[in-house]
C-alpha cells in the first residue's frame, strides 16, 4: 500500500526546494563567468597561413601538408575569436566553417571554393551529424566594432578561404587550388584575439 504524503509534508518539501533553488540561482549568477559573445578556438596555420578551428580534436586538412597527418599547425598562433550572426556587431556575413579542412571560408556566394581535403568539390559546411556550420561575421577596415584587432587577413579568390597576408612580402601562404600563394583580393579583415 502506498502512503499519501500529508499536506504539511508537501508544503515543507516545497519550501525547502524553493530555498535551495533560490540559493542555487544566486550561486549561478555570482559564480558564473560572463558569457562571451563569440567563438574561441580559431588558429592561424603556420604552414598555409589560413585560419582554422582547433577545438574539434582534429587538425583538418592543410594544403601545405606534413609528414604525419597533413593537418594544420598552430605554432606561433594566438587564439582568435570569431563572431557568429547571433552575436551581432559590424562586419561581413556569409563566412562558414568547413568540416573537412576545419578552415574558415566565404560561403556567401555561389562557389564552395576549393578545399584541401575535398578538392574541387569545395568546402563542406557540415561536421559529424548533427553539426552544421554557423554563419560567421568578419569585421573589416571600414566596418568594425571598434579599434584594435589584427589587420591584414584576406579572402583568397581561388580557394575561398581566409588567410593572413601580414608576414614577409610575397609570403601569403599556400592555396589548395594550385599549390601556389593565395590570391590577395579585396580589403583587409580584422580578427581579434583573446587577451
**Do 7 and 97 belong to one domain?**
no
Number of domains in the chain: 2
**Do 120 and 39 belong to one domain?**
yes
What does the alpha-carbon distance between residue 98 and residue 127 come to, in Å, rounded to a whole number? 8
The average confidence (pLDDT) of the chain is 80
CA neighbours closer than 13 Å in the CB half-sphere of residue 10: 5
Per-residue pLDDT at 67: 65
**Do 77 and 154 belong to one domain?**
yes
Chain segment 55-99, per-residue pLDDT in tens: 998 999 999 877 677 799 999 999 999 999 999 999 999 999 999
Per-residue pLDDT at 131: 87
**Do 7 and 101 belong to one domain?**
no
**Do 109 and 42 belong to one domain?**
yes
Number of neighbours of residue 16 by Cβ within 10 angstroms: 10
Distances in Å between the alpha carbon of 95 and those of 11, 58, 98, 124? 54, 20, 10, 12
Cell (9 digits) for 39: 567563438
Taking residues 162-170, what's their average pLDDT? 80
| Omega of the bond leading into 2 within 30 degrees of 0 (cis) | no
Chain segment 92-144, per-residue pLDDT in tens: 999 999 999 999 999 998 899 999 999 999 999 998 878 899 999 999 999 99
- State which residues form the domain around 102: 35-195
**Do 4 and 85 belong to one domain?**
no
**Do 28 and 72 belong to one domain?**
no
> Are the C-beta atoms of residues 163 and 182 closer than 8 Å to each other?
yes
User: Sorting pLDDT into bands at 50, 70 and 90, what band is 13?
Assistant: very low
**Do 14 and 44 belong to one domain?**
no
pTM, rounded to two decimals:
0.76
Chain segment 33-45, per-residue pLDDT in tens: 333 458 999 999 9
**Do 18 and 75 belong to one domain?**
no
**Do 93 and 24 belong to one domain?**
no
Per-residue pLDDT at 118: 94
Amino acid at each position: 500500500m502506498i502512503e499519501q504524503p500529508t499536506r504539511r509534508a508537501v508544503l515543507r518539501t516545497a519550501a525547502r526546494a524553493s530555498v535551495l533553488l533560490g540559493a542555487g540561482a544566486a550561486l549561478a549568477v555570482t559564480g558564473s563567468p560572463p558569457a562571451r559573445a563569440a567563438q574561441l578556438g580559431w588558429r592561424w596555420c603556420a604552414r598555409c597561413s589560413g585560419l582554422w578551428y582547433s577545438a574539434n580534436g582534429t587538425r583538418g586538412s592543410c594544403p601545405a601538408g606534413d609528414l604525419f597527418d597533413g593537418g594544420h599547425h598552430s605554432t606561433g598562433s594566438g587564439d582568435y575569436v570569431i563572431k557568429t550572426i547571433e552575436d551581432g556587431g559590424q562586419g561581413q556575413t556569409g563566412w562558414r566553417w568547413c568540416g573537412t579542412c576545419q578552415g574558415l571560408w566565404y560561403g556567401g556566394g555561389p562557389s564552395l571554393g576549393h578545399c584541401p581535403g575535398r578538392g574541387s568539390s569545395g568546402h563542406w559546411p557540415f561536421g559529424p551529424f548533427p553539426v552544421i556550420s554557423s554563419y560567421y561575421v568578419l569585421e573589416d577596415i571600414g566596418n568594425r566594432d571598434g579599434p584594435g584587432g589584427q589587420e591584414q587577413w584576406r579572402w583568397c579568390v581561388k580557394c575561398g578561404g581566409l588567410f593572413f597576408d601580414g608576414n614577409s612580402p610575397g609570403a601569403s601562404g599556400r592555396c589548395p587550388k594550385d599549390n601556389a600563394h593565395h590570391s590577395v583580393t579585396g580589403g583587409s579583415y580584422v580578427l581579434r584575439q583573446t587577451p
